[in-house]
Amino acid sequence: MPQGLLLTLSCPSGQWTVAKSKLLGSQQLRAAVVLRALLDHDEIMLLLTSSSSMDDAFSMCWKYQRPNIQKEGDLVLGLFFQLYYATQDFSMVWWLWKKYQHVLAFYFTIEKINRDPHLLPNLTLGFQLYNVYSSEHKTLRDTLRWLSGGDVFLPNYVCKSKYSPVAAITGTSPTFSAEIGALLQLYRTPQVTYGPFDPMLSDKDQFPSLYQTAPKDSSLVHAVVSLLLRFGWTWVAIFISDDLKGEQFLQALNVEMVKKDICVALTERLPALKKADTTSVFSALSRLSIPPANVHILYGEAESLIIVDLMASFFLTIGKVWIMADNWDITVVETHRILHSFHGSFSFSQHKREIPGFQNFLKTVNPSQYPDDFFFSKYWMHHFNCSPTGSSCGKIGACGPNTSLDKTMTRYNDIMTLSDSSYFLYNAVYAVAHVLHEVLVERIAQGSPEDAEQPRPPPWQDLATRHMGTFTLALCIAGTFTHLHPCLKKLQFTNSAGQLISLDKKENHGATYDIQNAVNFPGGLRLLVKVGEFASGSLLHQGLVINEEIIEWPIGFIQTPQSVCSQSCGPGFRRIPQEGRPVCCFTCVLCPEGHISNETESEHCTQCHPHKYPNTEKSLCLPKVVAFLAYEDPLGMALACAALGFSALTAGVLGVFVKHRNSAIVKANNRALGYVLLISLVFCFLCSLLFIGHPNIATCILQQITFGIGFTVAVSTVLAKTVTVVLAFKATGPGRRMRQLLVSGAPNFIIPICSLIQVMLCAIWLGTSPPFIDTDAYSEHGHIIILCNKGSVTAFYCVLGYLGSLALGSFTVAFLARNLPDTFNEAKFLTFSTLLFCSVWVTFLPVYHSSKGKAMVAVEVFSILASSAGLLGCIFAPKCYIILVRPEKNSMKCLKDRSSRRNKISEDFSHKSPFFKA
């Protein structure tokens, strides 16, 4: 097997030039290219040979074959096809054996028409086949040779008169069709193409004699975008041919992708092979970096797509999904590796029906049936290593008895699958036959029976110089066949597959695309599996039908691949675009507090209703639970128990004092004020229960009023007791004027006076902005707290400030009287109680403001209980201790023992303390 690419030039002078190229990586080319220059006809022929003796024998036979294939007939069609591509310097050649199916489809169609008694009766179709390649000079000479009818071309002359070329069927390359289109227009010869639809060729001002059988692929862009959306592929790389067709496809694709937020990671324009040499090809390959996207879209002319096939050979890019939008069968026909980059790829082909009888024709055809077709012999030799008897080179090797195209389980068995171009070629030949038949029928209806017996229609060229029948010449002069072009424009017929065919591309008949999945198996076997289809005219998602279960993904994927710039932002997140990058590249950010997003790829978060809250994932708003400081709550139950316990304890202390009302300690500390203080403390403890439970209008009003007035009575009572202690001390001396105040009960008026002021403040509060029921939907997550709004915050702090001033006054007086000499002096206890009271409510303010929801209520209840308990404990605990535990100290004898010492100490103390001077 050759180790490189051999380029041999044969000239009449006998000089040979042999060049050996470098090895192309791991991909070794198996063939040598023999280039023979026939200067007498100015033509070039390329042959593919190998080193075996069998192939050598075949090559010796083949190099003397005719440059074209022909079959005589009354009407002759010209078929121009292309079996290989080559660089400009012929250093690199690619044979595309799949394209030989076009020739077999042409044979099949010609024979089928000739056997049809209802289509062109008594006339036969002949043909001339030309294999063209990347040489504009060679293409034009082949075209002129076909028009002149000889092996050499003579412009404006006809070498033979046996046949009349009536139409040219041109191949898959629109570049080639455009090259010969201008030349055929000069001769007014119809040109029908069977390649993919090209918008450039539809310009009737430039190509008035050219017709395309392939339907418009305007829906192809929608089909590709629909497939991308189906699998969530939003980050793709695009490879297109560097020509007008590729640019138009790219422009239309970009418009649709922008609408659907699909971004392009890389756009690469592939150079045409015919304009490139080895250096430029490898330079282009070096620029094709591996893009970050997992999905690659491939579209363009076959010559450009060859570059991608070569790239796949040298830069194995497994783990990429290729979407072949055009000419895919040409690109991957030589693929035989299961790890090839195109394994698991998708292709779009316009929906077509099977041609009746074509499969059976492929199964039975062999080169012996077409002995002049040396390409068929070469195809057979290349695939089966033999040549049957009757072929162009005779019997070479030994072909098996069952050798046929459908018996080979190799990669070349792909020829059994009907390609788009073969189907379009079948329709192109039938279109020309139907038009010729229509014109002849019309002429027969207008002419005489003798004229109708003429076997051949005239050609488009100047037939006055041709040797034709009398009636044929008369038809030409009369201009009968000038109506052939209008017939082609308005032609509509139903082919044998049952599909309506029209060459008028102004009408939009809609298109249906089959989506196929390419699967490579070991040993070179490859299958095309139809996995879905797309029908234009439907909504984008409704037009696509695909069976994901039967899709074979490329190597490296065990499930549906992902191709995104950034991972999707799930529910609960919103996406923020990344600066300087496409819209598909973004950062996912968690929704802020109180907001949700219940869709993927959400750009904004939605705020929940105040009565709802987001779940943990921030994907759904849930209704908030109504909550309040209930008795069932542990905290509410604890506070309620504490309130009841302290109330019972206070009632118990009151009972003890009532029981021992005549004892010295009870009588010495103003028994009446003690009763009032204990009763007010009971109410203070019980008022805390108004803060617990479901709030209502009554409790909201009562809890603040009861709190304010109850504590005012308690604190004013403490103030009265403190003042009583001071007056009692100052009234003990002889001649003291304070005795009258003490005896008259003046300190007892402090309580109603102070309480009246607090009542007035509360009345103003209720009259201006009373408390009401309110809800707090933000303090606790997932809860709506029902609580009492204080209405006027100013009024609340005025009430609280008034209580504070009373407590501060009581503390000041009690602090100054703490050291008065008295047997049962309670000034120290009053000092501690008021100090504790003030400390509790000073601490209450910052804690209350930093709390929310039920915690605010709990803080206020706790402050009420703590301050009330402080007054109860500091004032009455020592007295209860003496009454219950040390009753011996609770007697008049103890009081008399200390009375003598009290007078002396009081006199000394009064002289030292200016506060107690008369």
User: Does 650 have pLDDT greater than 60?
Assistant: yes
Q: What is the mean pLDDT of residues 385-397?
A: 76
Q: What is the pLDDT of residues 29-52, one digit of tens each?
A: 333 332 232 223 333 333 333 434
Q: What is the mean pLDDT of residues 667-678?
A: 83
What confidence score (pLDDT) does residue 262 get? Answer: 92
Model confidence at 199, in pLDDT bands (50, 70, 90)? confident
Among the residue ranges 269-273, 561-565, 647-651, 732-736, the one predicted with the least confidence is 732-736
Residues comprising the chain, all counted: 918
Among the residue ranges 79-88, 151-160, 484-493, the one predicted with the least confidence is 151-160
Higher pLDDT, 17 or 688: 688
Q: What is the mean pLDDT of residues 644-660?
A: 92
Among the residue ranges 228-237, 378-387, 654-663, 852-861, the one predicted with the least confidence is 378-387
Structure tokens at 805: 């001033």
Q: What is the pLDDT of residues 337-367, one digit of tens each?
A: 444 567 888 988 888 888 999 999 998 898 8
Q: What is the pLDDT of residues 234-264, one digit of tens each?
A: 999 998 888 888 888 999 999 999 999 899 9
Distance of CA 248 to the CA centre of its chain: 26
Pairing of strands 500-502, 492-494: antiparallel
Write down the H helix ranges in 317-469. 328-331, 358-364, 374-384, 420-446, 449-452
Model confidence at 542, in pLDDT bands (50, 70, 90)? low
Contact 601, 573 (CB under 8 A): no
Task: Give, in order, the Cα–Cα distances in Å from 603 to each of 211, 288, 380, 532, 581.
Answer: 49, 34, 61, 33, 16
Contact 68, 75 (CB under 8 A): no
Q: What is the pLDDT of residues 416-450, one digit of tens each?
A: 888 888 999 999 999 999 998 888 887 777 764 44
Residue closest to 913 by CA, chosen among 707, 733, 656, 740: 733
Higher pLDDT, 204 or 14: 204
Q: What is the mean pLDDT of residues 200-219?
A: 85
- Neighbouring CB atoms inside 10 A of 424's CB total 26
**Residue 216: partners with Cβ closer than 8 Å, 6 or more residues away:** 197, 505, 508, 511
What confidence score (pLDDT) does residue 25 get? Answer: 33
Model confidence at 231, in pLDDT bands (50, 70, 90)? very high
Q: Is 787 helix (H, G, I), strand (E, B) or coil?
A: strand
What confidence score (pLDDT) does residue 177 get? Answer: 84
What confidence score (pLDDT) does residue 685 get? Answer: 93
Query: d(Cα 188, Cα 203) in Å, to the nearest integer?
Result: 16
Q: Is 512 helix (H, G, I), strand (E, B) or coil?
A: strand
Share of the chain above pLDDT 90, in %: 19
Q: Is 550 helix (H, G, I), strand (E, B) or coil?
A: helix
Q: What type of residue is 657?
A: F
Model confidence at 409, in pLDDT bands (50, 70, 90)? very low
Task: Give, in order, the Cα–Cα distances in Å from 514 to each of 217, 238, 252, 412, 683.
Answer: 13, 21, 20, 22, 88
Q: What is the pLDDT of residues 769-812, one digit of tens each?
A: 999 998 888 778 788 888 888 888 899 889 988 988 888 888 88
Q: Is 334 helix (H, G, I), strand (E, B) or coil?
A: coil
DSSP state of 553: P
User: Does 868 have pLDDT greater than 50?
Assistant: yes
Strands (E), 748-844: 772-776, 783-789
Higher pLDDT, 675 or 470: 675
What confidence score (pLDDT) does residue 594 get? Answer: 86
Query: d(Cα 293, Cα 266) in Å, to the nearest integer?
Result: 8
Q: What is the pLDDT of residues 589-624, one digit of tens each?
A: 999 988 999 888 888 999 998 888 898 889 999 998
What confidence score (pLDDT) does residue 464 get? Answer: 33
- Neighbouring CB atoms inside 10 A of 837's CB total 28
The overall average pLDDT reported for the chain is 76
Q: What is the mean pLDDT of residues 193-210?
A: 85
What confidence score (pLDDT) does residue 489 get? Answer: 83
Query: d(Cα 707, Cα 720) in Å, to the nearest integer?
Result: 20
Model confidence at 466, in pLDDT bands (50, 70, 90)? very low
Contact 362, 415 (CB under 8 A): yes
Query: d(Cα 312, Cα 331) in Å, to the nearest integer?
Result: 11
What confidence score (pLDDT) does residue 275 get? Answer: 61
- Neighbouring CB atoms inside 10 A of 460's CB total 21
User: Does 11 have pLDDT greater than 80?
Assistant: no
Query: d(Cα 916, Cα 913) in Å, to the nearest integer?
Result: 6
Q: What is the mean pLDDT of residues 490-513?
A: 79
Query: d(Cα 608, Cα 601) in Å, to the nearest integer?
Result: 19
Task: Give, in order, the Cα–Cα distances in Å from 98 to each of 229, 420, 523, 528, 841.
Answer: 32, 12, 18, 14, 96
Contact 781, 855 (CB under 8 A): no
Q: What is the pLDDT of residues 702-725, one digit of tens each?
A: 988 998 899 899 889 888 887 777
Query: d(Cα 477, Cα 455) in Å, to the nearest integer?
Result: 17
Higher pLDDT, 436 or 728: 436
Task: Give, in order, the Cα–Cα distances in Å from 611 to each of 604, 775, 788.
Answer: 21, 10, 18
Query: d(Cα 196, Cα 248) in Å, to the nearest integer?
Result: 14
Higher pLDDT, 892 or 472: 892
**Which of 70-79, 307-316, 334-343 is the most confident on average?**
70-79
User: Does 469 have pLDDT greater than 80?
Assistant: no
What confidence score (pLDDT) does residue 113 get? Answer: 94
Task: Give, in order, the Cα–Cα distances in Å from 511 to each of 196, 515, 533, 537, 540.
Answer: 13, 13, 11, 8, 14
Task: Give, in order, the Cα–Cα distances in Å from 872 to each of 89, 196, 280, 305.
Answer: 113, 102, 103, 98
What confidence score (pLDDT) does residue 894 get? Answer: 59
Contact 166, 457 (CB under 8 A): yes
Q: The pTM is what?
A: 0.65
